[in-house]
Chains A and B, each alone.
Chain A
């Protein structure tokens, strides 16, 4: 079947057609201050004929029939339609509303003014200035309703949420890159992207059915334009990254102070042992004055300033029948940990579109991404957080240590929870090689020109990741050693295709405009994983690192995979009357091989009314443009498992009894099992687009109400630690997105703009299918509270005096002392116990905001963007870990603010309290450890200067732009943390990796 199809495609390429010769038109396109517009699109209406203006704003089009209409368009300008003539001078007006922009929507495109739903478009210029390894990191703070949580590890992408979190399982959006579905777009270079359309509401996203519940981001890679001479652009930057907001830890003396105040007898042997071994002085009677020879700042030992650079080269152009775009880019990023760790990525892309005949258009696009990630051992950060300064990095007296003389924490008497973090960072060798190929082929047949066409496209993605982890032999201490080398190699592959067939019809009868789209899509997603581990692989060269070099016995293997198929039919109908009243209806039927119940149906409707088109609005000038919109739609989330539990009995040694010196095969048949179904989201959206003051002020506002039904959640099985998932939950996300921009021009040379976007979100668990509370490992879900809330005791103060303790039954019962936490007696029964625990907030921000501003004056341009969030909480798990090991290091804040006697503080516990289980343990989660995750950040500051038309002998270089960028130079937050942007989706702060600020110098040359 496939073979036939390819034959068909090839035959399309061969057939050629010729046109009758006609007139030639020429002209110049300028802006209102008579400056030539470079790159404006000039199209002959009713044909696919067109051109692009050159650096003098000039264009030439052949074969134009007399009497034809020519339209002129450019980003940020109002489109103009003029009757063709041989010499045209066209002046385009500024367009602050961008109503004529063509917006990419699901399986098609539409003009901005025709939309009935909120879709935000991010252009390449908005992201190319940001030195980020992942494009989504670059849009942080730029789009209302899109929450981006960036990650610090080189090469890893951010967490993205569109309009809140609507699933206990997975809330990341769908990315559609040139028709292919992805869970992230970390493989793309910022320079690969032409634009992104972010479909926020259900009526826009419902065309993607069961994949769309978390929102959809449609990514279009760069394409050429017709009749454009080759445009060659080099874009590059080099810069450095520096850790910021590094959490201040207690130094040796402060650490000793905390422990000795807590329990002198227990901890003085360790402290004295450090002084005996590494110098210092404990002769003073007051231990607060003891001095330390070893005062290691582990973070300082681990951190470095790291470089980052990116080079990209692009060529775009087009002839009368074909357009093309080629590009390559190379990104290099070093990690900030002071060992070899980096991320390299080489990308190639190509796109070709060709009018094979008057009725047939074919095209091809491809992105190849080759990346290499040398991973740091991130557990070193955790160890550095826990390790006090009282032992050094190196110790020549650690005689058993090899290959390096790292100091052992056992030298001062520490036991197995303490490590030498520098050794951990160095005795590690892990990397991932990734190859990813995305290709897209299409053929479009125009059955009735400009009215009816059929398009078939095949999208194929292959990604393979080869991972390697090698552990050398070393010795630091009896619990930080490795006596035999071990090597793990793994191969992961993703092999996905999508075949789309779409028919589009458009027509008008007088003032009535119709559009229809019918489509079908079939897809397969195949994942395979193979991994092997061998021990005793020779050390030395990398060339030795093969499993077959290790011990042949004891090799372990693991092999896994999944294959899912989908088959979908979808339709979109839209209608408008006189550009005033709009109606849209979509429907998608989705079949999935993953679930027992295979078919789901996802409809949506949308309507809008352009009020300013009404006659009664014609006589006023206050409101330039006003459109009211409303929509409803249903979406699905198939990022949940198809089933939970085990249907089969448990066997193996874990289920077999020992009899004498061996096991007898046994089984345990307490199986539990459930089938699951995709989650369903119903969303209502109401909004408006508004423009006033000669189009200088533009406001988009939307209210949304998203209800997730059948959310998958796992309550506990009675009398068991096991959980069994079911589609029991209901989650509501309700909120408001607003964006406003003001842009204006002062005189001829000075342009400026100021914009803001804000989102307000309310998240609530509405139903858990029976129980009112379901506890997870980290957070709980309570009906009526935010999802994934922290749960525990609320601290209302610190016991200040013994008398206060004696008077409080809770303090008496639990033997509490001054300096301990005082908890709220929530149910008022006079005693604090498990029943007094309450929801203490969640990691979902209630309010996010971004402010962007910029100006250009002559050849100088300046942009600044900021981002902030509030209303979110995080759980400082790093501090709470003290429940497991009482003498871990302290952060400085705990030392500085500790309770030291009556009246010293009513919010921080004493040093002694920090090692008592009343104050700190997994049973006593309390509000002291729940901190505000609010932050404000200057995202990006860029200053650029452009030199235009530089004469180099006979050659004129169109432009060179130099720029300096500070990315994330400043972040402020109150939490005692490295960053409020957590990799843990539930807001458990175990983050020990500092955020980095990046400073770059960039150059862009157009040849």
Chain B
């Protein structure tokens, strides 16, 4: 009996020791996760993947719906469209009946979102350039190296685009040369412009001189996209000679043409037409069900308050005063295209119901409207399968005309191309003011061009002053959360 007792204790003890010696017991890999495989930088067939990732970020981040109203409500033509939701947007812009506009609130979440989304795009671009450098370091093939440079150029165009939007919104912003940068002090607008222009020059030198719809990756940015964007920066800086050079280069390529039907330009037939310099592309793969790769709520946000599929959240309103101005000018196709009015039937036959809530806008952004009969059968989401237009040739022509007129040359030819397409009579010896009016109409509801024009020409104080605008209101304030999380942003911007 005693013997048994000790035998059993020894048996248990041995077992214990056996377990203890199994020190590998704790070496257990986590479930359901395969260790990261490093990117194979020698496999150049995948070299476009990081570039494709930046385009994705333009779509998923750069098109966040809250960026849209913040980009376009600061002029006297457009407002958020609703007072009962995101009401704070109404104090950010000019109100037709109220001198208390331009009351920015840096705690508004949308400002923070805009900041983070554009910087998110910049970070993805920075990482993509790093990847491309790794591919370049692994090859000596000159053809691959040339392609590599052209890809780097594409990434730089998109990065420049993000900085351009950031300066439009916030003025001086931080240049993030690397994703691990710890000094987050902002740079002056001039410095950011130079940084952008550096990126764009690289693209002009290395990207193909073709239309985006001629690119191997259809719709990718080209050297001409870079030139158009650079022209916009020089226009803001008042360097009209440069604007003229860059826009001339685009025009003289004879590759770009205004799409004849202004109404369809913004709809499915106008996707990646010969007028397009940059679009954010979306697709439903031509199928009536299954995945869609789109810019989330960007279109739905601007959908009219309506019954059925041609409806959305009802944001983005175009003021009656602006519509009357357009009507007085004798606008026809640009009127019906730009204005989606309540209680009307569109040229495509979609009925927009009469206004039910008088506090809402009675006119929405027609350029974001995709008719029911152009949707892929089976799709009901407002605007599905359409692309978001970012840069187009009409803007280039108008910039060209303005640059010429400002240098005391004649700008009639490019100017009247735009007029004629819109079924408007030609004008001879066009003036700067006429060009600015043309821009107001042609580019309404397109990325805040009107506000940018008013600010760069010094007209903002006289046009928007009565609603509360002052020069101090040129830019949005730095978002509160950014200031409190990143104290460097409180420092004075530097030249860098």
Contact = CB atoms under 8 A, between A and B. Distances in A.
**Is this pair of chains taken from one and the same complex?**
yes
Interface of A: 1, 4-5, 8, 12, 15, 17, 263, 265-267, 269, 357-360, 413, 415, 445, 447, 454, 456, 478, 501, 520, 522, 554, 559-567, 591-593, 598, 642, 647-650, 653-670, 715-716, 718-721, 771, 773, 775, 813-815, 833-834, 884-887, 915-917, 921-924
Contacts of B291: 653
B49 to A, nearest CB: 5
B28 A814 contact: no
B55 A658 contact: yes
Contacts, number: 240
A663 B283 contact: yes
A415 B305 contact: yes
Contact of A413 (B48, B58, B108, B356): B356
Contacts of A522: 19, 25
Contact of B51 (A666, A721, A917): A666
A659 B54 contact: no
A669 B127 contact: yes
Contact of B481 (A567, A775, A885): A775
A533 to B, nearest CB: 15
Nearest to B120: A720
B358 interface: yes
B25 A565 contact: yes
Q: Which 10 A-B pairs have the closest CB atoms?
A: A657-B55, A666-B52, A266-B359, A666-B53, A658-B281, A660-B218, A719-B119, A648-B36, A593-B28, A834-B480
B296 to A, nearest CB: 10
A924 B107 CA distance: 9
Nearest to B86: A917
Given A658-B59, A667-B53, A721-B116, A4 B11 contact: yes
B7 to A, nearest CB: 9
Contacts of A12: 8
A378 to B, nearest CB: 25
Given A670-B179, A834-B107, A664 B52 contact: yes
- Interface-centre pick from A359, A415, A670 (highest chain B CB count, 10 A): A670
17 contacts: A263-B83, A266-B358, A266-B359, A445-B5, A522-B25, A560-B32, A598-B26, A649-B36, A649-B39, A654-B60, A655-B52, A655-B56, A661-B285, A667-B53, A669-B131, A720-B123, A923-B88
A665 B55 CA distance: 11
A562 B4 contact: no
Contacts of A263: 83, 359
Nearest to A526: B31
B16 interface: yes
Nearest to A499: B19
A592 B283 CA distance: 48
Contacts of A520: 16, 19-20
A501 B16 contact: yes
B13 to A, nearest CB: 8
A917 B486 CA distance: 27
Interface stretch (B98-106, B225-233, B367-375, B419-427): B98-106
A559 B33 CA distance: 11
Interface in B474-490: 480-482, 484-486
A4 B15 contact: yes
Interface of B: 1, 4-5, 8-9, 11-12, 15-16, 18-20, 25-28, 30-32, 36, 39, 46, 48-60, 83-85, 87-88, 91, 98, 100, 103, 105-109, 113, 115-116, 119-120, 123-124, 127-128, 130-131, 174, 176, 179, 184, 217-220, 272, 281-283, 285-286, 290-291, 293, 305, 307-308, 356-359, 480-482, 484-486
A454 B281 CA distance: 72
Contacts of B16: 501, 520
B49 A561 contact: no
A657 B54 contact: yes
Given A593-B26, A715-B485, A885-B85, 10 more contacts: A267-B357, A501-B12, A562-B31, A648-B36, A657-B52, A660-B283, A668-B54, A719-B486, A721-B113, A814-B103
A12 B60 CA distance: 68
Given A719-B115, A815-B103, A447 B51 contact: no
A563 B57 contact: no
A70 B258 CA distance: 108
Contacts of A665: 46, 49, 52
Contacts of B120: 670, 719-721
Contact of A655 (B53, B100, B113, B179): B53
A276 to B, nearest CB: 13
Nearest to B308: A478
Given A917-B87, A917-B88, A670 B123 contact: yes
B217 A716 contact: no
A560 B30 CA distance: 11
Nearest to B131: A669
A719 B84 CA distance: 30
Contacts of A813: 103
Nearest to A887: B84
Contacts of B184: 718-719
A181 to B, nearest CB: 17
Given A5-B15, A656-B53, A922 B109 contact: yes
A657 B53 contact: yes
Contacts of A358: 1
Nearest to A882: B84
B8 A8 contact: yes
A1 B83 contact: no
A159 B448 CA distance: 51
Most buried by A among B30, B54, B98: B30
A887 B51 CA distance: 45
Contacts of B48: 664, 666
Nearest to A269: B356
Given A657-B53, A669-B128, A718-B184, A662 B26 contact: no
A266 B103 CA distance: 24
Contacts of A591: 26
Contacts of B359: 263, 265-266
A886 B25 contact: no
A478 B15 CA distance: 67
B219 A659 contact: yes
B190 to A, nearest CB: 21
Contacts of A359: 1, 5
A567 B25 contact: yes
Nearest to B95: A815
Given A813-B103, A887-B84, A657 B281 contact: yes
Contacts of B46: 665
Nearest to B355: A269
Contacts of A17: 1
A668 B59 CA distance: 13
Nearest to B11: A8
A649 B128 CA distance: 11
A653 B25 CA distance: 39
B496 to A, nearest CB: 17
A476 to B, nearest CB: 15
Nearest to B108: A923
A563 B31 contact: yes
A653 B293 contact: yes
A225 to B, nearest CB: 26
Contact of A660 (B49, B100, B219, B290): B219
Nearest to A529: B32
Given A8-B8, A916-B87, A564 B28 contact: yes
Contacts of A659: 52, 55, 217-220, 281
B106 A834 contact: yes
Nearest to B291: A653
A665 B52 CA distance: 7
A562 B30 contact: yes
Nearest to A561: B31
Nearest to A835: B480
Nearest to A772: B484
A562 B291 CA distance: 30
A663 B482 contact: no
Contacts of B59: 657-658
